[in-house]
Chains A and B, each alone.
Chain A
Amino acid sequence: MLFEFNYNRKQIPQTPFPFGEGLGMGLQNEISMNKLKISILSLALLCVLRVSADDYKASLFGIKSNGTTMNTTAIQKAIDYIHEKGGGTLVFYVGRYLTGHIELKSNVKIKLEEGAILVGSTNIYDYNINGPYSSLVFAYQAENIAITGKGVIDGQGRDVAYNLVDQIHKGIILDEMKNDRPGSRRPRAIYLRECKNVEISGINIRNSADWVQVYDQCQNLKIDGITVDSKAFWNNDGLDIVDCKDVKVLNSFIDATDDAICFKSHDATKLCENVEVRNCVARSSANGIKFGTVTSGGYKNFKIVNNKVYDTFRSAITIATPDGGVIDNILVDSLNAYNTGNPIYLRIGARWNKGRTGSMSNITIQNMYCEVPAGKPDVGYEYEGPIEDLPRNISPSSIVGLKGQDITNVTLKNIHIVYPGNSNPDYAYRGTKPADLDSIPEMAASYPEFSQFKELPAWGFYVRHAKNVKFENITLTAKGKEYRPAIVLDDVKSATFTKMKYEEPGGGKKQVVQYKSSNVTTK
């Protein structure tokens, strides 16, 4: 265990209530009763209303479950009240609870019982759109908070986004609508910033207008057994962990239009570190598991174990540092990816570095199986990934640093990747002659995606600007004939190949091409 939850549960003494049931009515009439007495009585009354010491039913605060009553202020009152009373759980039972932006406070847990749905208002003005934290459920510097239960948070994000677009087109809200969508203000379902001891478990989160859930500079974060289904609008990342420390993401299912499980580093003085992702399933019209894009500080000490990716448009795993961040000590073990556009993409770039130099070292990817289809892997999902960087044949896995900034110490072990093959040099061509290889642009300042270089000269792995790369027990299968070799190394210092297997119809060709590389050994 990375941490224990330590809720400061202030036990409210549960004295048995000695009076009859009609007393609540009597209270109103007893004008002569003194103040002290009234307080004691009301306290006792509250105790009776509550299921247990720190459970508060939503109805206590006048929160309505009909789906049409706007509950924002009532829910906020409930949270504030529970917070001021020393903490407890606000329990929502079956029903639809319409709300705008609410802020969680220390020692307050929200429990969504099965059948309870927290429904986001479709009115954009019901959210805190003027700051950077536009969200449905928000918390700032809160401790010991949680959202649990088998219930649902439904952001109704498509309608929220459309309503925002409408306000922009009418000129009420100013936004340049880059890519014809609002650049900011779209609310996330959950945004927690600088919080400590956070548990998100069991719930189902749907239909966000932007990223689904952001945990930003949080510490001791446990996400367990959640389901994310969010294809409501562009940029629906499934899970964004930004500059957090001590994080576990366990047993969760994430299906999202944009990156499914995503680590980011927005702050150059911070890091994402000590993170474990285990037993998760991810589906995306972008990347399955992604480090980046924004990578100011970096990522350290990650264990990504026993996860699955399917029907994913881009890479099963992308680790990118385009903004000067440091990436160190990342283990990816037992990742299975089916029907995924690209298996592995490791990339150093230099986009928003501001004087920093990005680095990536000590990356181990082992026990991986991946199937890349000939067609589009995310066909039929809403907000499919965009077809771009054409013309190109099926892209290989790639490990691409920058000139003078090698990706170092990469170990690839026990991996089987099945590619469709059938590249057509008349459609797109990149040969292995020096001129061909040198024609591949560095694209230091570009957005990092596996497809960014368009046609690449290998069908299995393309490695450039790397140092000390180990391939061990790797099987690369091309289902159709390829005009390209399986592996191209360009500017690689020290590479070892152990127990390599290449399967391609026809076969018999040289599958490893090295260029400007040294110390390449094959065992």
Chain B
Amino acid sequence: MSKIILFSFLFLFALKLLAKDYRIADFGAKADGVTVNTSTIQKAIDYINENGGGRLIFDAGNWVTGSIYLKSNVTLHLEYGATILGSTNPFDYVKDKKIGWMSMIFAVNQENIGITGKGTINGRGFTTANNMVNYIERGIYIDPLKLDRPNETNRPQNIYFRECKNVKINDITLRDPASWNQTYDQCINLYVDGITVDSKSYWNNDGIDVVDCDGVVIKNSYFDAADDVICFKSHSAEHICQNVVVDNCVGRSSANGLKFGTVSRGGFRNFKVTNLTIFDTFRSAITFAAVDGGEISNIVVDGVRSINTGNVIYLRIGDRWSKGKKPFMKDITISNVYAEVPFGKPDAGYNYEGPVEDLPRNISPASIVGLPDYKIQNVRLKNIEIVYPGAGNPLYAKRGLTSADLDSIPEMRTAYPEFSQFKELPAWGFYIRHAQGITFENVKLIAQKKDYRPAIVMDDVQGATFKGMQYNEPESNGKKQLFYQKSENVITE
């Protein structure tokens, strides 16, 4: 008998050593969905941080909070049925002085932190954002209300971690932020696994934003967002987002699926994206934009299903906020892609649908568009099948193939990069301009209805190889599907 007791005692002790668990209720927090527990949760985090670390466990219930700061060696663990609810009072949130944004869960300069478990973080951002609008209109809070919404930095995100090391985000569900959803900024070793994101409660609701991080894994996760879904950014010209793996993720967006940018000062390097599914997405399944002087290099995307998505691939160099830095994009491989582009609006019926704009235009092609002085280099597209609706109607919008027509496409150096920005483009499958070293290998382009445009138009491309191309367009016998001007070394095998 005594042996057994001793044994269980030892066992318990061992467990405790592994991960010391603390329950938030023990600190006096209430799961009633009403009590704002900010100070109590903060106290618990501070206590665990000061006492060697451990997990702060939220049992099933609704735990309301404003801004809290996660500290080193503390993991917030949300049990199944536990929800951390964001307060709907904007004054319960801190706008962090260093970060310049509002958030529910902050961490700054911490290490070995995490948020885990099958529970939910629900920002209740629709209400919070609208409450903020009310205070701004009452004159209590100062904000220009540009586009009739508070600035993104004046609305709380669910998570904002800055300069943290060894961050683990596992299994949780993230819902309804008032701004972007979760931002990891200048973090090292970020591991995101098995999370679910439902982020379409207000404008600018991204799925996940990874900014200038080094060493990132995002896998086995599901994202549904009003704005960009899996979004890499580079806010700092001195930093770069690098060494990133994205595997087995599914995304839905009223903007872009996988996006590099828009802010792209430092850049993006060494990415491997595999087994990505994007559906019901308003803009591009994949957008890589280097518009602020940053680089994009050594990017591999392998295995993409893009179903009911407004556009498939958009690669773009711009010159927006470069401040003298020279942007470049090179060594991009995209392979094993199957995509279907619909004739109608792919995100119809979702909350905060993407804006209808850049009209009139027929269905836009995938595009690779550099600038005359900054060419996109060495792009390899392999084993790709894209089904377009076709039906480009020249009476509605037309861009012909004469030099005058092609030259009339504006460069738009300083514009916000979106696949639709040039309005009507002269191809239905791919439009490529200002590029060097483009390889198409085993690419099949299907137009479901006759289109007045050719499949591919190139302009100012040095070196392009087409191997095993298939074009499939009704009533197109004898139509020349590949057209180019001002280009050299174009090889078709």
A and B touch in the complex (CB under 8 A): yes
Instruction: Tell me the A residues contacting B by CB distance below 8 Å.
Output: 166, 169-170
Expressed in whole angstroms, the minimum distance between the Cβ of A169 and any Cβ of chain B is 5
Residue of A nearest to B140 (CB): A169
Expressed in whole angstroms, the minimum distance between the Cβ of B90 and any Cβ of chain A is 13
7 pairs of residues in contact across A and B, judged by CB atoms under 8 Å: A166-B134, A166-B138, A169-B134, A169-B138, A170-B134, A170-B137, A170-B138
Q: How far is the CA of A169 from the CA of B137 in the complex (A)?
A: 9
Residue of A nearest to B138 (CB): A169
Chain B contact surface mostly: helix
Residues of chain B lying within 8 A (CB to CB) of residue A170: 134, 137-138
Residues of chain B lying within 8 A (CB to CB) of residue A169: 134, 138
Expressed in whole angstroms, the minimum distance between the Cβ of A156 and any Cβ of chain B is 13
Expressed in whole angstroms, the minimum distance between the Cβ of A171 and any Cβ of chain B is 9
Residue of B nearest to A168 (CB): B138
Residue of A nearest to B136 (CB): A170
Please provide the chain B residues from 107 to 142 with a CB less than 8 Å away from any CB of chain A in the complex: 134, 137-138
Expressed in whole angstroms, the minimum distance between the Cβ of B350 and any Cβ of chain A is 15
Q: How far is the CA of A166 from the CA of B138 in the complex (A)?
A: 8
Residue of A nearest to B131 (CB): A166
Q: How far is the CA of A396 from the CA of B137 in the complex (A)?
A: 49
Q: How far is the CA of A523 from the CA of B40 in the complex (A)?
A: 64
Interface residues of B, count at CB 8 A: 3
Residue of A nearest to B127 (CB): A159
Residue of B nearest to A165 (CB): B134
Total inter-chain residue pairs, C-beta < 8 Å: 7
Residue of A nearest to B137 (CB): A170
Residues of chain A lying within 8 A (CB to CB) of residue B134: 166, 169-170
Expressed in whole angstroms, the minimum distance between the Cβ of B139 and any Cβ of chain A is 9
Which 5 residue pairs across A and B have the least CB separation, nearest first? A169-B138, A166-B134, A170-B137, A170-B138, A170-B134
Expressed in whole angstroms, the minimum distance between the Cβ of A380 and any Cβ of chain B is 13
Residue of B nearest to A163 (CB): B134
Q: How far is the CA of A239 from the CA of B248 in the complex (A)?
A: 60
Q: How far is the CA of A166 from the CA of B131 in the complex (A)?
A: 9
Q: How far is the CA of A361 from the CA of B134 in the complex (A)?
A: 53
Please provide the chain B residues from 131 to 176 with a CB less than 8 Å away from any CB of chain A in the complex: 134, 137-138
Residue of B nearest to A167 (CB): B134
Q: How far is the CA of A179 from the CA of B138 in the complex (A)?
A: 19
Expressed in whole angstroms, the minimum distance between the Cβ of A78 and any Cβ of chain B is 28
Expressed in whole angstroms, the minimum distance between the Cβ of A121 and any Cβ of chain B is 15
Q: How far is the CA of A170 from the CA of B134 in the complex (A)?
A: 8
Expressed in whole angstroms, the minimum distance between the Cβ of B184 and any Cβ of chain A is 34
Q: How far is the CA of A170 from the CA of B138 in the complex (A)?
A: 5
Q: How far is the CA of A166 from the CA of B134 in the complex (A)?
A: 7
Q: How far is the CA of A515 from the CA of B270 in the complex (A)?
A: 98
C-beta contact mask, B204-221 vs A, less than 8 Å → 1, else 0?
000000000000000000
Residues of chain B lying within 8 A (CB to CB) of residue A166: 134, 138
Residues of chain A lying within 8 A (CB to CB) of residue B138: 166, 169-170
Q: How far is the CA of A166 from the CA of B137 in the complex (A)?
A: 9
Residues of chain A lying within 8 A (CB to CB) of residue B137: 170
Expressed in whole angstroms, the minimum distance between the Cβ of A67 and any Cβ of chain B is 16
Q: How far is the CA of A312 from the CA of B212 in the complex (A)?
A: 61
Q: How far is the CA of A64 from the CA of B137 in the complex (A)?
A: 34
Q: How far is the CA of A169 from the CA of B138 in the complex (A)?
A: 6
Please provide the chain B residues from 254 to 273 with a CB less than 8 Å away from any CB of chain A in the complex: none
Residue of B nearest to A170 (CB): B137
Please provide the chain B residues from 336 to 387 with a CB less than 8 Å away from any CB of chain A in the complex: none
Q: How far is the CA of A170 from the CA of B130 in the complex (A)?
A: 14
Q: How far is the CA of A518 from the CA of B324 in the complex (A)?
A: 103
Expressed in whole angstroms, the minimum distance between the Cβ of A345 and any Cβ of chain B is 34
Q: How far is the CA of A512 from the CA of B413 in the complex (A)?
A: 96
Expressed in whole angstroms, the minimum distance between the Cβ of B141 and any Cβ of chain A is 12
Expressed in whole angstroms, the minimum distance between the Cβ of B4 and any Cβ of chain A is 47
Expressed in whole angstroms, the minimum distance between the Cβ of A268 and any Cβ of chain B is 41
Expressed in whole angstroms, the minimum distance between the Cβ of A174 and any Cβ of chain B is 15
Expressed in whole angstroms, the minimum distance between the Cβ of B7 and any Cβ of chain A is 47
Expressed in whole angstroms, the minimum distance between the Cβ of B91 and any Cβ of chain A is 15
Expressed in whole angstroms, the minimum distance between the Cβ of B36 and any Cβ of chain A is 16
Residue of B nearest to A166 (CB): B134
Expressed in whole angstroms, the minimum distance between the Cβ of A463 and any Cβ of chain B is 45
Expressed in whole angstroms, the minimum distance between the Cβ of A232 and any Cβ of chain B is 14
Expressed in whole angstroms, the minimum distance between the Cβ of A489 and any Cβ of chain B is 49
Expressed in whole angstroms, the minimum distance between the Cβ of A405 and any Cβ of chain B is 48
C-beta contact mask, B222-239 vs A, less than 8 Å → 1, else 0?
000000000000000000
Q: How far is the CA of A166 from the CA of B135 in the complex (A)?
A: 9
Q: How far is the CA of A399 from the CA of B138 in the complex (A)?
A: 48
Q: How far is the CA of A169 from the CA of B133 in the complex (A)?
A: 13
Expressed in whole angstroms, the minimum distance between the Cβ of A173 and any Cβ of chain B is 13
Expressed in whole angstroms, the minimum distance between the Cβ of A450 and any Cβ of chain B is 32
Expressed in whole angstroms, the minimum distance between the Cβ of B88 and any Cβ of chain A is 11
Expressed in whole angstroms, the minimum distance between the Cβ of B207 and any Cβ of chain A is 24
Q: How far is the CA of A166 from the CA of B130 in the complex (A)?
A: 11
Q: How far is the CA of A498 from the CA of B138 in the complex (A)?
A: 64
Q: How far is the CA of A281 from the CA of B134 in the complex (A)?
A: 40
Q: How far is the CA of A440 from the CA of B138 in the complex (A)?
A: 46
Expressed in whole angstroms, the minimum distance between the Cβ of B127 and any Cβ of chain A is 10
Q: How far is the CA of A188 from the CA of B137 in the complex (A)?
A: 28
Q: How far is the CA of A40 from the CA of B148 in the complex (A)?
A: 53
Expressed in whole angstroms, the minimum distance between the Cβ of B142 and any Cβ of chain A is 15
Q: How far is the CA of A170 from the CA of B137 in the complex (A)?
A: 6
Expressed in whole angstroms, the minimum distance between the Cβ of A199 and any Cβ of chain B is 37
Residue of B nearest to A169 (CB): B138
Expressed in whole angstroms, the minimum distance between the Cβ of B450 and any Cβ of chain A is 35
Q: How far is the CA of A169 from the CA of B134 in the complex (A)?
A: 9
Q: How far is the CA of A102 from the CA of B11 in the complex (A)?
A: 66
